[in-house]
Amino acid sequence: MTAEQRRSKRPYLLRAMHEWVVDCGHTPHVIVDAERRGVEVPQACVKDGKVVLNLSASATQGLTLGNEWIEFSARFAGVIHHVRLPIEAILGVYARETGEGMVFAEEDPEPPPGPTVTEESKRPRLRVVK
């Protein structure tokens, strides 16, 4: 399977965790590697190369949790900023109130190699069972 054919699980897990946190009545936050290429956040919010962002409906406008990017507008120190984050920069998602959530691996691991599928192995076979 090529890299183009293989999809990352990260955006799907992120959306699911975000929905779960909101359904529980909590505030969804993400931890972001602010040093990753493509991260657009106010630098004043970055500490030790990371930034924690509130992704609640009351804190964001136009929140989009896509397969490649997270985008929204939010106020930082009273000033509206557009935030754009590549999905690979998201290190984790959690509920502020409980700390429950998920931490993502640095890179999505490659699936272990499986058996090679041949034309012969695709055909159905009948076997006598006694």
CATH number at residue 95: 2.30.30.220
pTM higher than 0.95 for the full model?
Answer: no
pLDDT in tens, 19-44: 999 999 999 999 999 999 999 999 99
Report the pLDDT value the prediction gives residue 1, as an integer from 0 to 100. Answer: 46
Residue 91 lies in a domain: yes
Residue 69: CB atoms within 10 A of its CB come to 15
Report the pLDDT value the prediction gives residue 7, as an integer from 0 to 100. Answer: 79
Residue 57 lies in a domain: yes
Least confident range of 31-35, 38-42, 65-69, 118-122: 118-122
The domain in which residue 34 lies consists of 10-105
Residue 118 lies in a domain: no
As for how many domains the chain has, the answer is 1
